[in-house]
């Protein structure tokens, strides 16, 4: 008897609690709602990392219901990472609580609209010509399926495929389709109805990169450097009157977050030109932060360029380099025919205040130009530079020298023992320019080596390498001869 009473009591309690849960759920499903758009924005800040990542802080002034309510927060990025979303009250932080948050991204389009109307009736509109006049004819049809975008209709009891109406009319918009990505919160507000809320989140689809233009003087001893920031916004929303900050550095990120972000294609276009630098730079943790000194607007699907830095009259040094190959020292080479090596051209400058520069340079592409005899600027080379702190050297490879020829001849090769070899090389350098040059010759000898004889002094630049500086007169020729013994 006691057992029956206990079971009855449990059943009653379960029914009571289940009823409360149903009532509670019913109340929540009919919460008073508020919708906010970018028109309510009080301020917007955007921090962009050079790893296809943006941090958005969106402050809006909203008339919020008291008690439990639902807030629809529109005009957010389509590539938002929902796990990073947060919202807080700047007005009454202690009287504001979040119970639940959702990210609605089932966006409205014709395909999804058809999918939602499978099993329902739709109005089909067709344009027909009658008496030389185009008129509309409508008919009702039930959509049976819409697999792979191929609708199957039921019309007057028949199953019909291959119909291509000019228009479709739907009686209403399905509840679970929205026009744009929206953040939805269930909130409890026990404070003022007038609230200033700050929502923040990370989004993909927005990136920035640096591009540099170096204009070389006619004597090739000084140059003017201009840096540009290219911001590419493909995040799915625009950012109006935003405070813009850029973070340069290698940010460590969790792999699953990286996989969720779509890799974006960078484009180049100049939308804003300025002569003076517009970014203030500061050291920030292990990165560098660049803050634009004014607000800017980034439209969705827009590429914008903003001036980063300018420096005039920076001293530069031009260098010709011949790099040998390690396989030259392991066997006999090219009998009877000299080997031809390319002589590479480099420009080097110091990123220092004394050299009219000194701002930490984010990695990017540096393009070098020089004026021709008619004054027109011509591209003479480009290279990728890495993140470069102040007081460090920037070195750019421009290409191969056209008027300098290098030929290598192996004059001798002797096997001294099983692991010891002796070799002699003659490197001929011919300069067809109207001015003298000095060529840096780098020889990656390898092994345990010792130069026995040499026509020019050498430096041991690494355990496996030697370096020679060989001057060559205008329209002249010079020979580098050396003998080396190597133990492997």
Specify whether the CB–CB gap between 363 and 396 falls below 8 A. Answer: no
Q: Which residues pair with 462 in a beta bridge?
A: 465
Does residue 196 contact residue 89 with C-beta atoms inside 8 Å? yes
Give pLDDT, residue 65: 92
Tell me what pLDDT residue 251 has: 67
Residue 391 DSSP one-character state: T
- How far is Cα 36 from Cα 23, in angstroms, rounded to an integer? 28
Nearest to 235 by CA among 169, 188, 303, 183: 303
Q: What's the rounded Cα separation, in Å, for the pair 267 and 257? A: 24
For 111-145, give the DSSP string.
Answer: HHHHHHTTTSEEEEEEEEEETTEEEEEEEEEEEEE
> What pLDDT is stored for residue 336 in this prediction?
65
5 membership: H or E segment, kind and range: helix 2-29
Domains of the chain listed by start with CATH number: 30-106+179-203 (2.60.40), 110-169 (no CATH), 206-314 (no CATH), 317-352+393-487 (2.60.40)
Q: What global pTM score does this model have?
A: 0.71
Q: Is 374 exposed, middle or buried (0-12, 13-18, 19+ CB in 10 A)?
A: exposed
Check residue 278 and give its pLDDT. 66
Low-confidence residues of the chain: pLDDT under 50: 1-28, 256-276
DSSP reduced 3-state for 39:
helix
Cβ 426 vs Cβ 409: under 8 Å: yes
List all residues 6 or more positions away from 195 whose beta carbon is below 8 Å from its beta carbon. Answer: 61, 62, 63, 64, 89, 91, 92, 96, 189
Dihedral angle over CA of 394, 399, 404, 410, nearest 10: 90
Span 385-424, pLDDT tens digits: 998 999 999 999 999 999 999 999 988 888 899 889 999 9
pLDDT digits (tens, 9 = 90+) for 337-356: 788 899 999 999 999 999 99
| Structure confidence at residue 378 (pLDDT) | 95
Helix, strand, coil content of the chain in percent (nearest 5): 10, 55, 30
């Amino acid at each position: 008897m006691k057992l029956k009473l206990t079971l009855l009591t449990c059943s009653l309690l379960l029914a009571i609690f289940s009823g409360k849960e149903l009532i509670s759920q019913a109340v929540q499903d009919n919460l008073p709602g508020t919708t906010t758009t970018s028109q309510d924005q009080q301020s917007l800040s955007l921090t962009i990392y050079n790893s296809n990542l943006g941090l958005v802080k969106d402050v809006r002034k909203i008339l919020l219901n008291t008690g439990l309510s639902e807030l629809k927060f529109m005009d957010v990025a389509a590539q938002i990472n929902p796990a990073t979303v947060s919202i807080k009250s700047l007005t009454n932080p202690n009287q504001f609580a979040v119970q639940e948050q959702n990210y609605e991204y089932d966006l409205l389009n014709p395909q999804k609209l058809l999918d939602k109307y499978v099993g329902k009736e739709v109005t089909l509109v067709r344009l027909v010509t009658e008496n030389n006049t185009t008129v509309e004819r409508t008919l009702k049809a039930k959509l049976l399926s819409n697999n792979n975008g191929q609708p199957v209709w039921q019309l007057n009891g028949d199953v019909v495929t291959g119909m291509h109406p000019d228009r479709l009319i739907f009686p209403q918009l399905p509840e679970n389709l929205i026009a744009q990505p929206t953040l939805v919160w269930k909130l409890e507000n026990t404070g003022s109805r007038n609230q200033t809320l700050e929502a923040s989140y990370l989004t993909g689809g927005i990136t920035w990169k640096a591009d540099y233009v170096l204009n070389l003087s006619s004597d090739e001893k000084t140059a003017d450097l201009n840096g540009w920031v290219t911001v590419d916004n493909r995040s799915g929303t625009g950012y109006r009157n935003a405070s813009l900050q850029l973070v340069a550095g290698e940010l460590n990120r969790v792999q699953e977050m990286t996989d969720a972000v779509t890799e974006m294609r960078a484009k180049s276009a100049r939308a804003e030109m300025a002569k003076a630098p517009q970014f203030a730079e500061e050291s920030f943790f292990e990165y560098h932060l660049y803050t634009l000194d004014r607000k800017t607007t980034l439209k969705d699907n827009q590429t914008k360029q903003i001036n980063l830095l300018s420096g005039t009259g920076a001293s530069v040094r031009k260098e010709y380099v011949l790099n040998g190959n390690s396989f030259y020292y392991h066997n006999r080479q090219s009998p009877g025919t000299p080997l031809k090596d390319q002589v590479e051209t480099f420009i080097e400058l110091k990123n220092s205040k004394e050299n009219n520069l000194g701002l930490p340079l984010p990695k990017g592409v540096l393009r070098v130009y020089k004026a021709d005899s008619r004054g027109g600027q011509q591209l003479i080379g480009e290279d990728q530079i890495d993140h470069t702190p102040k007081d460090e050297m920037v070195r750019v490879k421009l290409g191969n020298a056209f008027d300098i020829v290098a030929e290598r001849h192996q004059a001798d090769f002797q096997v001294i023992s099983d692991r010891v070899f002796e070799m002699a090389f003659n490197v001929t350098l011919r300069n067809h320019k109207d001015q003298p040059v000095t060529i840096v010759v780098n020889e990656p000898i390898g092994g345990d080596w010792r130069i026995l004889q040499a026509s020019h002094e050498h430096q041991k630049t690494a355990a496996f390498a030697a370096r020679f500086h060989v001057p060559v007169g205008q329209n002249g020729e010079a020979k580098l001869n050396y003998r080396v013994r190597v133990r492997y």
